[in-house]
Chain A
Amino acid sequence: MCRLAVDFAGVAFKNPVVMASGTFGFGREYNDLFPIEKLGGISSKGLTLHARSGNEGIRIWETPSGIMNSVGLENPGVEGFIHRDLDWVNSLDLVNIVNVGGHSMEDYIQAVERLNAEQLDILELNISCPNVKQGGMNFGVKTDMAAEVVRTIRGICKHKLVVKLSPNAENIVDLAKACEAEGADGISLVNTFLAMAIDIKKRQPVFNNGYAGLSGPAIKPIALRMVHQVSHAVQVPVMGLGGISTWQDAIEFIMAGATVIQIGTATFMKPDKALDIIAGMERYCEENSIANISEIRGIV
Chain B
Amino acid sequence: MATVLKNEAVGSGFYLLKASGMYDAKMGQFCMLRAWDAYPVLSRPISIFDCDGEGISFLYKVVGQGTELLAQLKPGDTIDVQGPYGNGFPAVTGKVALVGGGIGVAPLYYTAKMLKAQGNPVDLYLGFTDEALLQQEYEAVCDELTVNIGGYITDDINPADYDYIMTCGPHIMMQVLADKVKGTAAQLYVSMENRMGCGVGACLVCSCKTTGGNKKVCKDGPVFKAEEVFGNV
Q: Do the beta carbons of B41 and A265 come within 8 Å of each other?
A: yes
A58 to B198, CA, bound (A): 15
Q: Do the beta carbons of B38 and A54 come within 8 Å of each other?
A: no
Quick one: CB contact mask for A255-276 with B, threshold 8 Å, 1 for yes?
0000000000101111100000
Q: Do the beta carbons of B203 and A23 come within 8 Å of each other?
A: yes
Kindly state whether residue B18 has any CB partner on chain A within 8 Å.
no
Quick one: CB contact mask for A61-74 with B, threshold 8 Å, 1 for yes?
11011110101001
A187 to B28, CA, bound (A): 44
Which residues of chain B come closer than 8 Å to A25, judged between CB atoms? Answer: 201-204
Q: Do the beta carbons of B198 and A62 come within 8 Å of each other?
A: no
CB distance from B82 to the nearest CB of A (A): 7
Q: Do the beta carbons of A29 and B43 come within 8 Å of each other?
A: no
Q: Do the beta carbons of B214 and A29 come within 8 Å of each other?
A: no
Kindly state whether residue B61 has any CB partner on chain A within 8 Å.
no
Which residues of chain B come closer than 8 Å to A60, judged between CB atoms? Answer: 42, 195-197, 203, 205-206
A265 to B203, CA, bound (A): 10
Q: What interface size band does chain B fall in?
A: 20 to 34
Which residues of chain A come closer than 8 Å to B40, judged between CB atoms? Answer: 62
Kindly state whether residue A299 has any CB partner on chain B within 8 Å.
no
Q: Do the beta carbons of A269 and B198 come within 8 Å of each other?
A: no
Q: Do the beta carbons of B219 and A269 come within 8 Å of each other?
A: no
CB distance from A255 to the nearest CB of B (A): 21
Q: Do the beta carbons of A29 and B202 come within 8 Å of each other?
A: yes
Q: Do the beta carbons of A216 and B41 come within 8 Å of each other?
A: yes
A61 to B201, CA, bound (A): 17
A62 and B41 in contact, given A53-B213, A69-B205, A271-B82 (Cβ under 8 angstroms): yes
Kindly state whether residue A142 has any CB partner on chain B within 8 Å.
no
CB distance from B70 to the nearest CB of A (A): 15
Q: Do the beta carbons of A74 and B204 come within 8 Å of each other?
A: yes
Q: What interface size band does chain A fall in?
A: 20 to 34
B41 CB contact (under 8 Å) in A22, A29, A67:
A67
Q: Interface residues of A: mostly helix, strand, loop or mixed?
A: loop
Which residues of chain A come closer than 8 Å to B82, judged between CB atoms? Answer: 271
Within 161-207 of B, Cβ neighbours of A (below 8 Å) are at 195-207
Kindly state whether residue A13 has any CB partner on chain B within 8 Å.
no
Within 35-50 of B, Cβ neighbours of A (below 8 Å) are at 38-43
Q: Do the beta carbons of B213 and A29 come within 8 Å of each other?
A: no
A149 to B39, CA, bound (A): 38
Which residues of chain A come closer than 8 Å to B196, judged between CB atoms? Answer: 60
Kindly state whether residue A128 has any CB partner on chain B within 8 Å.
no
B200 CB contact (under 8 Å) in A30, A58, A64, A245:
A30
Kindly state whether residue B26 has any CB partner on chain A within 8 Å.
no
A45 to B202, CA, bound (A): 9
A265 to B207, CA, bound (A): 18
Closest to A33 in B: B200
A268 and B195 in contact, given A25-B201, A30-B200, A60-B205 (Cβ under 8 angstroms): no
A53 to B214, CA, bound (A): 7
Which residues of chain A come closer than 8 Å to B195, judged between CB atoms? Answer: 58-61
A65 and B41 in contact, given A53-B213, A54-B207, A60-B205 (Cβ under 8 angstroms): yes
Quick one: CB contact mask for B21-35 with A, threshold 8 Å, 1 for yes?
000000000000010
A69 and B197 in contact, given A54-B207, A59-B205, A245-B38 (Cβ under 8 angstroms): yes
Q: Do the beta carbons of A270 and B205 come within 8 Å of each other?
A: no
Kindly state whether residue A140 has any CB partner on chain B within 8 Å.
no
Which residues of chain B come closer than 8 Å to A74, judged between CB atoms? Answer: 204, 207, 214
Which residues of chain A come closer than 8 Å to B197, judged between CB atoms? Answer: 23, 60, 67, 69, 268
Quick one: CB contact mask for A24-59 with B, threshold 8 Å, 1 for yes?
110001101100000000000100000001100011
Q: Do the beta carbons of B41 and A269 come within 8 Å of each other?
A: yes
Which residues of chain A come closer than 8 Å to B41, judged between CB atoms? Answer: 62, 65-67, 216-217, 265, 268-269
Which residues of chain A come closer than 8 Å to B202, judged between CB atoms? Answer: 23-25, 29-30, 45, 267
A64 to B65, CA, bound (A): 11
A61 to B194, CA, bound (A): 11
Within 196-233 of B, Cβ neighbours of A (below 8 Å) are at 196-207, 213-214, 219
B42 CB contact (under 8 Å) in A30, A53, A58, A268:
A268
A54 to B204, CA, bound (A): 9
Q: List 19 A-B contacts (CB under 8 A).
A: A25-B201, A25-B202, A29-B200, A33-B200, A53-B207, A54-B204, A59-B205, A60-B42, A60-B196, A60-B205, A66-B41, A71-B203, A74-B204, A74-B214, A217-B38, A245-B38, A265-B41, A268-B198, A269-B34
Interface residues of B (CB under 8 A from A): 34, 38-43, 65, 80, 82, 195-207, 213-214, 219
Interface residues of A (CB under 8 A from B): 22-25, 29-30, 32-33, 45, 53-54, 58-62, 64-67, 69, 71, 74, 216-217, 245, 265, 267-271
Closest 8 CB pairs of A and B: A25-B202, A60-B205, A59-B205, A29-B201, A29-B200, A29-B202, A74-B204, A60-B195
